[in-house]
């Protein structure tokens, strides 16, 4: 799953370290004007803001998984 995240976010134009693909969330948050603490203490972060960051990453991953599934199904049909 981490490899998928790294590949998808790279396709979305983000710089992703293969060893730390979760770091892309900080870049996404910054781009959206949302402040996230890298020390993991984001308790004061609004749920809505967390959803925007996670949604952008998760949405891109879901689109890629659907594309992969459609490609696989198309190959199975005669």
The label of the residue with tokens 């890298």 reads 38
Convert the pLDDT of each residue in 8-33 to its tens digit: 888 888 888 878 877 888 888 888 88
- Residue 73, φ and ψ in degrees, nearest 5: -65, -40
Query: Do the Cβ atoms of 16 and 8 come closer than 8 Å?
Result: no
Least confident of 10-19, 38-47, 58-67, 69-78: 38-47
Query: Sign of the CA dihedral 46, 47, 52, 57?
Result: positive
Query: Do the Cβ atoms of 21 and 9 come closer than 8 Å?
Result: yes
The SS3 assignment for 64 reads helix
Other beta carbons within 10 Å of 52: 15
Convert the pLDDT of each residue in 32-52 to its tens digit: 888 887 777 777 788 888 888
């Amino acid at each position: 799953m981490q490899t998928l995240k790294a590949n998808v976010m790279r396709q979305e134009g983000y710089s992703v370290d293969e060893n730390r693909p979760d770091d892309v969330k900080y870049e996404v948050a910054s781009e959206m004007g949302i402040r996230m603490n890298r020390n993991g203490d984001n308790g004061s972060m609004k749920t809505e803001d967390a959803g925007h960051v996670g949604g952008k990453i998760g949405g891109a991953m879901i689109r890629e998984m659907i594309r992969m599934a459609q490609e696989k199904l198309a190959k199975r049909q005669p």
